[in-house]
Amino acid sequence: MTSLEVNINFYETHYDILQQWFLRPGNKIVLGDKQNRVCRFCGRKPPEVTFRKVAHAIPEALGNKSIESAYECDDCNEGFGCGIENDLGKVCKTSFIRADGRIGMAAVS
């Protein structure tokens, strides 16, 4: 059995597909309950936090224009947007340039 087959077997054995979507330009999918919002990261809910900003379930830096999250508060959304997602976007945007120019990534300590 190849490593790919082993990995596929693992996921088929240990996980269930709860739902799947076909992503099409212009179709928006919102995960979560807009009526009973609780942030999945910090556990807070209104009126302590707001849910006004668009929270992408998969970062826009990876090309997501369709899947949004109703269970990420504005505070957590801003934290991820300024931190992890911003860094990810920089890596994604520069990885092609580095690959094309045969430039490796230096380890940062």
Rounded distance between C-alpha atoms, residue 59 and residue 65, angstroms: 9
Query: Would you say residue 40 lies in a domain?
Result: yes
CA atoms 56, 48, 42, 70: torsion sign: negative
Query: Would you say residue 108 lies in a domain?
Result: no
Rounded distance between C-alpha atoms, residue 10 and residue 2, angstroms: 12
pLDDT, average across residues 10-14: 95
Task: State the residue range of the domain holding 50.
Answer: 23-100
Residue where the block lists tokens 């739902």: 19
- Ranked by mean pLDDT, which of 17-21, 65-69, 71-75, 87-91 comes out on top? 71-75
Angle made by CA atoms 94, 100, 103, in degrees to the nearest 5: 70
Query: Would you say residue 17 lies in a domain?
Result: no
Give the least confident one: 54-63, 64-73, 89-98.
Answer: 89-98
79 CB contacts (<8 Å, ≥6 apart)? none
Q: Which pLDDT value is given to residue 101?
A: 52
Query: Would you say residue 45 lies in a domain?
Result: yes
pLDDT tens-digit profile of 18-60? 888 888 878 899 999 999 999 999 999 999 999 999 999 888 8
Rounded distance between C-alpha atoms, residue 96 and residue 42, angstroms: 35
